[in-house]
Amino acid sequence: MFQYTGEYKKHTSSDSDMMDFYTFTPSPLCDGLPLPVDDELFALLTAAHRLLGVLEGMVMYSTVSNIIKELFSLKEGCFSFLVDSEDSITFYDALKARTSKHEDLQYINNLIAAQQYSYGKPITISELSKICGMIIYGPVSTQTAKIRNEQIYFHRIDANLKAYMPTAPEDILPAFDDLTKFIRMDNHTDLLIKTALAHYQFDIIRPFEKNNGVIHRVLFPMMLLSEQYQSAQYLCISEFLYNNKKEYYDKLG
């Protein structure tokens, strides 16, 4: 974990081993985060915005946009599931998700419904909790995901070493609140940089007991749609992340 993006917080476990471990609390994004835009990053941003513009034009004049949107939604749901899973389910399995009784395919179906619900919604703690709840309990459920009150442990280490573990429960709400405020604030940050920072920050915090990975990938289209990029509904970010999973996790960690 990059030290400048936050701070390690030392804890001592309450079990008989009395082992020390560290959690990572991200720096508030609303306070500003040093991220210089060098020539390489500027070129990448320019190319990305140009391609988004091209896609916007294609979507605007497409005569079968609803069919394409549905297919891409299914594809995104399938690959978002696979990014966090070792399952062998394919996109073609996901095409049958609405009628299949297979548990994993039903989960993908829930994910797709939650993803479609998220389009156009404000990015708030309550809405993200509802979206996470739809993935867990199904689209017709009114249950929401609760902010976790227990620590997620990846490993236990000696006190003289520091390694990433998600934000401690007592620090989640302030960090989560800062993140949603940053997303909504008009601070003239490039939209793609802002989206990447939000994705990274959410992954560090991991506010829910499960499905955090899926939710921070849902943030991509939510944020783009908030700036009127209708093409966000036709992107399959998770396919790229799945095909580059090792590098993706290395960059996050």
- Percent of the chain scoring above 70 in pLDDT: 89
The answer to whether position 67 is within a domain reads no
The answer to whether position 81 is within a domain reads yes
SS3 27: coil
Calculate the alpha carbon distances from 157 to 15, 19, 105, 129, 201 in Å. 14, 7, 37, 31, 23
The answer to whether position 46 is within a domain reads no
What residue numbers bound the domain in which 242 lies?
A: 75-252
Which pLDDT score, from 0 to 100, does residue 168 have?
94
> How high does pLDDT run on average in the chain?
86
The answer to whether position 89 is within a domain reads yes
Which pLDDT score, from 0 to 100, does residue 103 have?
64
198: pLDDT strictly greater than 80: yes
| Nearest alpha carbon to residue 76 among 138, 46, 119 | 119
Which pLDDT score, from 0 to 100, does residue 152 have?
85
Higher pLDDT, 149 or 158: 149
Which pLDDT score, from 0 to 100, does residue 34 have?
63
SS3 208: strand
Please tell me the total count of domains within the chain.
1
Higher pLDDT, 161 or 243: 243
Say which range, 8-17, 25-34, 115-124, 227-236, has the weakest mean pLDDT.
Answer: 8-17
